[in-house]
Structure 1
């Protein structure tokens, strides 16, 4: 019997090639989108799961409020890892990382440096802690000695041309010689360590051995014993403040107690976060790896689910629309003895065949689209064709989709009454508001929601691009690793300033784009209690920094390199004034220090106040900032005054080659570096555009199917109307209006939902747009225009048909 079902299903599908093609294509597009999004979500949810005992690994984070600043950070004090091991029996092991950013390395027998973008100090427990095996070297001893390092396979190939690198020497920043003691396989792409290529022994980091609880620069991971109650463990962590932090702080503030600390509005709280939750759930301001958000996963899950659902709805509508052509077939089958269950199985078999054909096409589409999707999403996802579970999921999903998408048409068609179908009567719904109408409303509601989301994301990105940031990021070239020029940095800057294409230049590690950051606590002269602390960023800059970035001076003056006194001068921003509780003019001449534990502390005199500028992402409020005139050679910013960027860069590179021979010339434009802060939002916007387009396309196929159904169902009515004098325009408008009502209902429902959801998304930004009526209006108009274009073809076709033919069919 089943063989007969298959044979009849093939014949039926073959007899209607256009209908089969449309159904298969619509379902395949939805399935392909679902496969791509599903694989993306799977990779995101499985971040860092590959490490040994990942379910028992936690990172200790810290929330702190002190000196007017509230900070959520993943970096903690150097002694914390050791304390965790000794004070808490639940802690089996611990490891720390001290991020070092990018550095220049070269093999000892070479003269040219190679830049490694992500390097870190790591404790000797690193490899054992995460269950990592070395390609070469001993995991237990590789990071025990000072000036030793473990490098990845890629780094070994870059520096030595072979993975046989153990025992060889590498020179760091033309200064310190390290011995390679291990070669590690490149780390997985969905791990927080994926970008790191060099792990240096923590033994060489002097600060890591200091008993300082106020310097937070170390990522601390712990591995707990099986069965540990993390709620109880968290309560024990709360005791660290009184046991260790306050006794250390009392060296500077003898009278400080937990009560006085909290009474002044301050707090310090340690808490844990599971390793596998860090990527999506961490709210820390600093991370070792690229951070995603669970909100984006929810959004993509929503898009993926409804993309598939829309494809199924499209199948239902098209199948139902086509059912009229098969009404006589159903009538004959029932007359000859077929029962309803047999008919249901027959039609479900057809939908199953279409679903399997669609899945094959979907996998082909997904395979072809995967490289483009990876570019779009910034990932390295692969379709796991070698994994048996993948085929099992695909098989089950296809069966479920086939049953789901075919169930409604199967039960509707099998319900036809033989007498009426053989007589030629059309099947009519008992209600004007039926399930097909509901499905169209649902389809277009989702489309309107996605359109609103797309417009809001891009409006926010446009707002970010066009907002006055308080500094000039246009035509500013950042030369990375200026320190590679050694004692020639000053000469390098002067040579560059001689170029006609250059307006100004400044040397500093601190830029208002992703770069070096440093927070410190300062105290006004005469106000040395802990409640008077001022927490602010401390940036070391030269005298040309303010001019190069076109920062606005509110009052006071800029630094003067000829003035010895300016080595202890300070320029603050407006936000620092709020923390100090003074006006700009009152701030001039005030002195601050951070050396409360010194007999003769160094005081810095405020000589100027600059207007606030956005040195952090627009997600964050502008915090207190202090500029100090000091040497910091991490990078050089060059303000260009020419449109010939290629010529200017070439001239600067020639100077670099002269002043820093053998060093890599690495540069970026400040506006591009600024844009990288919002790459997740850009990716989300691009994904929104693609899948919104697909959802609209699928929704239009469904509407097209319903329009065809409606036109067929009202053929005689249209014929009678034309005989009685109705014009083509009147009939077309009448048929189109029916569907526009559904689209209008969908729009009315979806607009407030889209507004609410995107307002929640915008809450992540301290500086954001307001969703205006224009966004909602454009979304509504766009979907209405698309609906009119989709329906008009069937409506016009039905309106211009010869009424004689339609009436003769009676």
Structure 2
């Protein structure tokens, strides 16, 4: 019987190729979008789950309010791990990581360095803690000795291959010699350690052995014993502050207690963050790698659901609209003895067949567009062809989709009364007009909502790009790793400044784009109590820093190489003034220090106040910051004159190769570096744009089919109107107006929802746009314009038909 259903279904589909194409193509587009987004979401949800005992691993986070600043840190003090292992029976093991950024590295005895982008100091327990197997070497002994390191497979192959790695001597940053004691496989792309390629023994890092509870520089992970309730662990964790932090602080502030600290409005709290939640739920300072957001997962989930629903609605709409053509077929079948259940099974078989044909096209489309989707999303997703569970889920989802898409048309058409349809009566109600209209409204409501969302995302990105950041980011090139020039780094800067296309240059590791950060507590002279602390960013710069980045001084002066006393001078930003309790001019001459525990303190005199500039993402408020003269030689920022940059960059590279032969030359433009901060938003905007287009395309396919059906259904009416003198424009207008009413209702429903949802999204930014009225107007105009273009073709086509032919039709 099922074989008979399939035969009849195939014949029925071949008889109406236009209808079959619209349904198949619409479902295929929806299924393609749903498949790609599902793979994306699966990748996002799988982050860090590959590590051994991942469900029992937690990171220790620290929330601090002190010195006028609120800090949500991912790092803890150096002694935290040992203290937790000692004090808590619930802790099975711990491990620390100390991120060290990029390294220049080469095999001893060679001259040419290569760059490893991310490296970290790690405790010797690192590999067993995360369940990482070494390709060569012993995981228990690999990082136990000072000056030893472990490389990833790719890093090892650059220098000497995996098999020959053990025992090799390597020079880091041209100064420190390390011995290779192991090689691990490359870390998965869906892990928080994905960018790291080199791990150094923590045993050789002196700071890691200091009992300094006030410095938060270590990512500290704990593995709880099985069956421990993590929520019960957070409460005793708070006792670490009074047990360890207060005694350490009392060396600096003898009279301070936990009560007096809290009475000053400050706090210092620890909490645990599940390892598997970090990627989607953590948005704190100094994340070990760039995280996403569960909000984006929800948004993309809704987009995937919308696409599937749009394609399903399309199918229902077109099927019910074409039910008039099949009304007599149903009547004859019922007259010949078919019962309603047989008809339902027949129509469901047709919808299932369309669903599986659509699946075939969807898989082909997904394979074709997957590279583009990976570019849009910043992922490296692949279709898991060898995974039986993937195919089982795809087939199951297709069956459900086919059943859901065909259920309403099947139950609708099987309800026709043979007497009525065979007599030709009741034809005006057979088409299910109210349901069709509701489904068209639903389709366009989703499309308009996505149009609004896309416009808002791009307007926020445009606002970010155009906002006055307080510094110049255009025409500035950043030369990386200039410390490799050693004692010649200043000579390199001086020669670069002599180039005709160079306006100015500055040496500093600290930049208002992703770069080094250093937070410290300073105190005003004469106010050395803890309640008077100033928590601020401490940036080491040179004399040319402000001029190179074109920052604006609102009071005082810039650093001057003629003034020897500027070695103990500081320039603060405007955000520091409220903490000091003074205005810009009043701040000049104030002295501050961070040397609480020294007899001979070094005081820094405020000589200038720089206008606030955004050194963090626009999601964050601007905090206190101080610029100090110091020897920071990691990056050379070069301000270029307008023109062709390629020759200037070639000249800079030539100077570099002369001064630092064998050292890698690399650069990046500051505006590109700035844009990486908002990569997640840019990806989201592009994904919105693509899937908005797909949703509109699906909606238009349905509208196009309905317009064709509506014109065909009203053929005689059109003929009569033309005979009575109606013009083509009048008939086209009448046919088009019915659909525009539905689009208008969709616009009225979707615009308030779009405003509410996107306002929620914008709340993640401290600096954001107010959604302008024209976005809603543009979305409405686009929806109406698209509907008119879609419907007008069929309307005009029907209107120009010879009325003689129209009146002859049955």
**Residues 575 and 624 in structure 2, CA contact (< 8 A), matched pair in contact too:** yes
Deviation at 1:430, TM superposition (A): 8.1
CA contact (8 A) 2:22 2:705 kept: no
Aligned-residue offset at 1:564:
2.5
Q: State the alpha-carbon separation in 2 of the partners of residues 707 and 22 from structure 1.
A: 13
Structure 2 match to 1:310: 310
Query: Aligned with 2:305: secondary structure?
Result: helix
Could you say what secondary structure the match of 2:325 adopts? helix
8 Å contact kept, 1:426–1:713: no
Query: What is the root-mean-square deviation of aligned Cα atoms in Å?
Result: 1.4
Distance in 2 (CA, whole Å) between partners of 1:748 and 1:642 is: 48
SS in 2 for 1:621: coil
**Structure 1 residue 771 and structure 2 residue 741: aligned?**
no
2-structure distance, mates of 1:590, 1:130: 50
- The CA distance in 2 between the partners of 1:6 and 1:332, in whole Å, is 19
- 1:148-175 per-position Cα deviation (integer Å, ceiling 9, x unaligned): 0110000001122444301111100000
The answer to whether the 8 A contact 1:416-1:427 is kept is no
- The separation in 2 between residues aligned to 1:104 and 1:809, in whole angstroms, is 82
The change in CA–CA distance for 1:657 and 1:433 in structure 2 (over 3 A counts) is same
Distance in 2 (CA, whole Å) between partners of 1:714 and 1:415 is: 24
Quick one: structure 1 residues 726 and 425, their matched pair in 2 at CA, closer, same or farther if it must change by over 3 Å?
A: farther
Hey, what's the Cα distance between the residues in 2 that align with 1:189 and 1:665? 27
Partner of residue 128, structure 1 = 128
C-alpha distance in 1 between matches for 2:62 and 2:547: 37
Number of matched residues? 810
> 2:321 — aligned with what?
321
Equivalent residues of 2:512, 2:616 under 8 A apart: yes
Deviates more, 1:772-781 or 1:407-416: 407-416
| Cα distance, 1:238 vs structure 2 | 1.0
Alignment deviations for residues 476-498 of structure 1 (CA, whole Å, 9 cap, x no partner) = 11101010000001111111111
Which residue in the other structure is 1:36 paired with? 36
Q: Between 258-267 and 43-52, report the one with greater CA deviation.
A: 258-267
Q: Match for residue 584 of structure 1?
A: 584
**1:427 and 1:713 in contact (8 A); partners too:** no
Q: Identify the residue that residue 484 of structure 1 maps to in structure 2.
A: 484
User: Would you say the 8 A contact 1:169–1:177 is kept in 2?
Assistant: yes
Counterpart Cα distance in 2 of 1:417 and 1:762 = 54
Structure 1 position 425, deviation (Å): 4.2
Counterpart of 1:219? 219
Name the stretch that deviates more: 109-118 or 154-163.
154-163
Verify: 1:512 aligned to 2:517, yes or no: no
Partner of 1:596: 596
- CA deviations on 1:339-394 (whole Å, 9 max, x unpaired) are 11111111110110010011111011111111111111001111011001001101
Instruction: Give the structure 1 partner of residue 45 of structure 2.
Output: 45
Q: Which moved more, 1:120-129 or 1:468-477?
A: 468-477
Q: How much has 1:804 moved relative to structure 2?
A: 3.9
SS of residue matched to 1:757? helix
Check conservation: 2:477, 2:670, Cα contact below 8 A.
Answer: yes
Note the C-alpha offset of 1:716: 3.4
Per-residue CA deviations over 1:380-420 (Å, capped at 9, x if unaligned) read: 11101100100110111000000011111112222222233
Give the corresponding residue for 2:463: 463
1:311-356 deviation per Cα after TM superposition (whole angstroms, max 9, x unaligned): 1111111222222222222221111111111111111101100100
**Distance change >3 Å, CA 243–CA 433, structure 1 → 2:** farther
1:369 equivalenced with 2:369 (yes/no) = yes
Distance in 1 of aligned mates of 2:452 and 2:238: 44
Task: Check the 8 A contact 1:153/1:163 in 2, yes or no.
Answer: no
> Deviation per CA, 1:279-337, whole angstroms, max 9, x where unpaired?
00002122112200011111100101110110111111122222222222222111111
Task: Note the alpha carbon deviations across 1:485-527, whole angstroms, 9 max, x for none.
Answer: 0000111111111111111111000011100000000000011
Distance across 1 between alignment mates of 2:109 and 2:34: 52
What corresponds to 1:608 in structure 2? 608
Q: Please state whether the residue corresponding to 1:211 is helix, strand or coil.
A: coil
**Quick check: 1:312–1:404 contact (8 Å CA) kept in 2?**
yes
Q: Please name the residue that 1:259 is paired with.
A: 259
Aligned to 2:402: 402
Confirm or deny: 8 A CA contact 1:157 1:163 kept in the other structure: no
Q: Indicate conservation of the 8 Å contact 2:283/2:291, yes or no.
A: no
SS at 1:140's partner residue? coil
Note the C-alpha offset of 1:426. Answer: 6.0
- Provide the residue aligned with 1:682 in structure 2: 682
Show the counterpart of 1:173: 173
Shift of 1:433: 6.5
Q: CA deviation digits over 1:526-559, x for unaligned, max 9?
A: 1111110001100000101111111111121111
1:79 aligned residue: 79
Aligned partners of 1:365 and 1:426: how far apart in 2?
A: 42
For 2:431 and 2:171, the matched residues in 1 are separated by 81
Worse-matched range after superposition: 552-561 or 27-36 = 552-561
Quote the Cα distance in structure 2 between the aligned partners of 1:401 and 1:645.
Answer: 55
Greater Cα offset, 668-677 or 162-171: 162-171
Alignment correspondent of 1:388 = 388
Q: Secondary structure at the match of 1:177?
A: strand
In structure 2, how many angstroms separate the alpha carbons of the residues matched to 1:377 and 1:667?
25
**Which stretch of structure 1 is more off in the superposition, 443-452 or 795-804?**
795-804
The whole-number CA distance in structure 1 between the counterparts of 2:553 and 2:424 is 85
How many Å separate the matches in 2 of 1:263 and 1:705? 70
Mapped contact 2:124–2:143 kept (Cα < 8 A): yes
Alignment of 1:312-711 (within 5 A): 312-425=312-425, 427-429=427-429, 434-711=434-711
> 8 Å contact 1:314–1:705 — kept in the other structure?
no
In the alignment, the residues of structure 1 paired with residue 272 and residue 510 of structure 2 have an alpha-carbon distance, to the nearest angstrom, of 30
- The answer to whether residue 295 in structure 2 is matched with residue 295 in structure 1 is yes
The equivalent of 2:792 in structure 1 is 792
Question: Greater CA deviation, 316-325 or 760-769?
Answer: 316-325
Q: Which secondary structure does the structure 1 equivalent of 2:36 belong to?
A: helix
CA-CA distance at 1:53 after TM superposition: 0.5
| TM-score of the two chains, using structure 1 as the length reference | 0.98
